[in-house]
Amino acid sequence: MLWSKLEARIQTVEARLDGVLGVFVKDLTSGAVVRVRPDQVFPLASSIKVAVLYELYRQAEEGRIDLAEITRPPLPRVGGGGVLQELGGDISVTWRDLAVLMMGWSDNEAANVLIGRLGMDAVNQRLQGLGLRGTRLKRRMMDLEAARRGDENVGTPAEMAQLLEHAYRGTGLSAERSRDLAAVFAGPKWSDSQAGVPFRAPLPPSLRVLDKAGELEGVRCVSAAVDLPGRPYVASIMTTFLRRESDGEAAIREISAAVFETFDRLASGSEHGRLIGPK
């Protein structure tokens, strides 16, 4: 009944939204799912950086890249988010530093340098190997010419939720490297973009959340793994064709709140629903 009520709440949000909504939520304890257009392809915007991060750590695990190796981001640098665009040419960072900038500041230049090192084909081959056929990295960040050609970074709610589950569980990674990936992924988000705020806003600040939001004109999306003690879950919420982008942000916030409230009760209660507080 709780699950049915959650589905009804999400459907209410969907009915009000002047745009297209896709949702995939999975209970990592029971395997139960809630879905709205789970296989529809949506623009991912910066959410595609999750695939870049995961490929970075898989290549590090395979000995193909040293996360502590120093590199020098070249000039010129793309803008649209992050801090590298504000820095001079004489800087040195590690590949892990670039991952921190990409995930915490949504730094587009950091993402592009990583894509150049890892290889776009390698990212997509990894996604294919995971069985993700509708999720693809097709262009670098801020490549408007590629976007005009139709080369958009895309994915489906179901596949992005699956990718988040792999990242959360550390599929193919040692325990130590899995913990480090999670530390980079779950760090504070300092981007000027407000896309990530709606998803995190209803959640307790102490909760560990591996999330990456994205925004483009008419598009708002987020994919996340929420490490709720006793009841972790993954969620992917995507909106496009928005008449008002603020409506997409409001839909993400409302769905995030509904999902958390449901899982919080499942985590806190007995199998019959009794909520027993701490002593």
Each residue's pLDDT, cut to its tens digit, for the chain (279 residues) gives 889 999 999 999 999 999 999 999 999 999 999 999 999 999 999 999 999 999 999 999 999 999 999 999 999 999 888 899 999 888 999 999 999 999 999 999 999 999 999 999 999 999 999 999 999 999 998 888 888 898 999 999 999 999 999 999 999 999 999 999 999 999 888 754 444 589 999 999 999 999 999 999 999 999 999 999 999 999 999 999 999 999 999 999 999 999 999 999 999 876 777 776 655
The amino acid occupying position 16 is: R
How many Å apart are CA 114 and CA 127, to the nearest integer? 16
Count Cβ atoms within 10 A of the Cβ of residue 144 and give its class: 0-12 exposed, 13-18 middle, 19 or more buried. exposed
- Nearest 5°: the CA angle 166, 170, 172 is 90
Helix 120-129 vs helix 108-118: angle between axes, to the nearest 10 degrees?
A: 80
- pLDDT on residue 277: 65
Query: Is residue 36 a contact partner of residue 8, using CB atoms and an 8 Å limit?
Result: no
Characterize the bridge pairing of strands 20-27 and 33-36.
antiparallel
- pLDDT on residue 195: 46
Ordered by where they begin, the domains of the chain are 2-268 (3.40.710.10)
SS3 for 35? Answer: strand
Which residues is 34 bridged to in the sheet? 25
- pLDDT on residue 146: 86
* Residue 215, H or E segment: strand 209-216
How many Å apart are CA 239 and CA 220, to the nearest integer? 5
